[in-house]
Structure 1
Amino acid sequence: MRIAVLLKTDQGGLWILPQVEELRRRGHQVVVVLPRATGRLTGELRQRGVEVHDSPFDFRFRPRPSTLRDLWRLRRLIRRLRPDVLKYHLYASALAGRFASLRLPLRRVHMVAGPLYLESPLIKLVERPLWRLDHVTICGTGHTSGLYGALGCPAPRRPVVTYGARTAHFAELDGAAGRREVRAKARAELGIEEGAFVVIMVAYVYPPRRLVHKGRGIKGHDVLLAAWREFRADHPDARLLLVGAGFSPAGEAHRRELVRRFEVDGDPSVTWLTSVSDVRDCYRAADLSVSPSLSEGHGAACEAGASGVPNIVSDAGGLPETVDETTGWVVPRNDVAALVSALRQAHREFTDGRLRLRGERAQQFALGHFDDTVAAAAVADVVEATCRTGRRS
């Protein structure tokens, strides 16, 4: 098969790499269409010898004549590439791919990273007829598959396959002594006391959205920072490690506003790193990970679990799928009091030694459920099966 992958960004999206590599390993030709830029994803693909094409469409659906012109140019590019399968990720890519490939002889595969767009009443109304343009919708979480089911999509056309994480990359397999040594080194480099209770949150800061969760960043940084004020007051040994810059200039402006609002610069218990050379060092220093998102797929909880760090997650999207009762806690989204309560419970387990055992179970859970190479093979199976049902349509 010849497969064209369409993605609206070349700054993120590294999660497509295992899928691209698996499809190529099976002998398929894969080309990737990305915006005109040279970001990290473009570099990684070209380093692996993957054919990359500049998209003539910038994935912004503005009411301008140039929008239709550039969609037509994208159509001409797709037609010239002659793929058997057009596979797209992220909603703007899905819209562009659907419109640009109408009536072309190919199969359309939509892989859904997160459910955010389906939380907009307007987009949900639009998506109710549009999902029918996809031959299959691969849902990154069971939650997303349920949302498409509510829109009328039959179960065989909305299989669940996680994007997964590089679980082996994050897992520590050097034995207890090795883990203690690595943990001590990571804490020393971060300036964190050896005996501290360290809570980590790894997430980009996204700006508030217009159509969903109006006025709020979707990752829930504000929820955690509000909860931290209360929790830290009676837990002086606690340290909060935030890892992640603003995803865009607007996201960085929102991050700085959070720093001001919660007086982060004046709180010695909070460290906010906007970039790190290896996030594994941060997980190695941590006792607990928190994902307080308002909307999410599986997020960073998979990486944390693979690192042996138990999770507190909100009940947003697919996050509850990343833990069970032995590996972490689920709290209602946007509920500061519930998050404080879970932090206190985790701290009690930290004090009596049970939290470490919970982390070991979290690692086994992540290794068993979220390995991205296993997920990539499952995605390739779906793509091949979709193509077999009708190589040209």
Structure 2
Amino acid sequence: MRPLRIAVLLKTNHGGLWIIPQVEELRRRGHEVVAILPPGSGRLTEELRRRGVEVHGSPFDFRFRPGIATLRGLWQLRRLVRRLRLDVLNYHLYASALAARFATVGLPLRRVHMVAGPLYLESPLIRATERLLWRLDHVTICGTGYTSRLYGALGCPALRRPVMTYGVKTAHFANPEGSASREETRAKARAELGIEEDVFLAIMVAYVYPPRKLVFQGRGIKGHDVLLSAWQAFHEQHPRARLLLVGAGSSPAGEAHRQELVGRFRIDRDTSVTWLTSVADVRDCYRAADVSVSPSLSEGHGAACEASAAAVPSIVSDAGGLPETVDESTGWVVPRGDATALGFALRSAYREFVGGQLQARGERAQEFAVRHFDNRTAAAGVADIVEAACRTAAGRP
């Protein structure tokens, strides 16, 4: 097919680095790709420009406040899109999707929505709205099978809601070939973290998000409270165990919630729990760990893919797409919000740790991640879907 002009629209210029492999794959195929991001500097803006991708500042601030300013911003975004003479507008994150849909109604381009996480669809209000608005997308690429099923329940036909993960750079998390053995890198990582060689180490890698009013009765969506409740009971029976939490608050409100958790669970007095708000390289934390825990109340694929790529088996909740990240030979699935069930899974992982079977489970998890979640394979799948959306358009090649 002829080269396409494609714009990627996001409401952030700092996060969203997971679009980079997709942008590069589209460019590799000969398509012209630009980005529309909030004005100013940010990690994403800088990385795209470093790679030679043209970045345009969005005239719309992605805040939908009643008033003339919102209408003016959407109109200016529409003018920018028209000036770019696009074949495809590809957008990620829900505020970006709303802006893209409203600003481009009637324009002769294909709208491709890629869904990073399902949280917004778990709000009854937004779900009712989305029952109508998904029709403005020519295709909705669902990052998980769970998200695709949610859109199916809203009436979206299967052909318009294909599943394609964002994936992770699996080679980045694997122990590099020719480097020290896994045992040696594990020992080094533990020494740097101050964790004894023979203890069982569970890890949770996640930002702390503030409780949401519209979902989960005001609880934090990542399930830190669930894990900390389970851990207290587990550690009483297994004193040779440590828990490593990695992640700061996602915002000032998120950090306030993190501090509330520290106080509620007396983490500052619990020597079995270490909470790092930032690390130079999260791979060192995974290399030290025996099991990863993702107890979220809502999630896409989350950190379980990273952990698996690093050969660490995972305990995940049954929320969202998390059950898609493990099978019975690579991890455990427990009901969301159930601290008792999570404690049982921790004990099962501990038994395998003591019996010497847990490392083999991690190796199977790594094979599973390479097969299902490698971001290069995922990027090629996204490019296939974008091209197919243009082939089905009237008058397109």
TM, length-normalised to structure 2: 0.97
Tell me how far apart the structure 1 counterparts of residues 40 and 227 of structure 2 sit (CA, whole Å).
35
Give the letter aligned to residue 212 of structure 2. Answer: R
Change (3 A) 1:362 1:175: farther
Tell me how far apart the structure 2 counterparts of residues 233 and 70 of structure 1 sit (CA, whole Å).
56
Residue 63 of structure 2 aligns to a residue whose secondary structure is coil
Tell me how far apart the structure 1 counterparts of residues 345 and 236 of structure 2 sit (CA, whole Å).
15
Aligned-pair CA distance for 1:79: 1.1
Residue 206 of structure 1 aligns to a residue whose secondary structure is coil
Name the counterpart of 2:81. 78
Unaligned regions of 5+ residues in structure 2, if any?
A: none
Name the counterpart of 2:239. 236
Deviations 1:181-202 (A, max 9, x none): 1000000001110111000001
Aligned-pair CA distance for 1:158: 0.5
Aligned-pair CA distance for 1:69: 1.1
Question: Paired residues, what number?
Answer: 393
Name the counterpart of 1:39. 42
Aligned-pair CA distance for 1:210: 2.0
State whether structure 2 residue 337 is matched by structure 1 residue 334.
yes
Tell me how far apart the structure 2 counterparts of residues 233 and 175 of structure 1 sit (CA, whole Å).
40
Unaligned regions of 5+ residues in structure 1, if any?
A: none
Give the letter aligned to residue 306 of structure 2. Answer: E
On the 8 A contact 1:106/1:392 being kept in 2, the answer is: no
Name the counterpart of 2:141. 138
Change (3 A) 1:342 1:110: same
Aligned with residue 327 of structure 2, among 317, 324, 329: 324
Deviations 1:54-99 (A, max 9, x none): 1111111111221111111111111111110000001111000000
Tell me how far apart the structure 2 counterparts of residues 216 and 224 of structure 1 sit (CA, whole Å).
13
Tell me how far apart the structure 2 counterparts of residues 160 and 344 of structure 1 sit (CA, whole Å).
34
Aligned with residue 292 of structure 1, among 276, 292, 295: 295
State whether structure 2 residue 58 is matched by structure 1 residue 58.
no
State whether structure 2 residue 353 is matched by structure 1 residue 350.
yes
Give the letter aligned to residue 215 of structure 1. Answer: G
Change (3 A) 1:391 1:107: farther
State whether structure 2 residue 152 is matched by structure 1 residue 149.
yes
Residue 297 of structure 2 aligns to a residue whose secondary structure is coil
Aligned-pair CA distance for 1:36: 2.0
Aligned-pair CA distance for 1:208: 1.0
Aligned-pair CA distance for 1:392: 6.6
Aligned with residue 223 of structure 2, among 220, 223, 227: 220
State whether structure 2 residue 103 is matched by structure 1 residue 97.
no
TM, length-normalised to structure 1: 0.98
Which structure would you say has the larger RCO, counting Cα contacts within 8 Å and 6 or more residues apart?
1
Name the counterpart of 2:72. 69
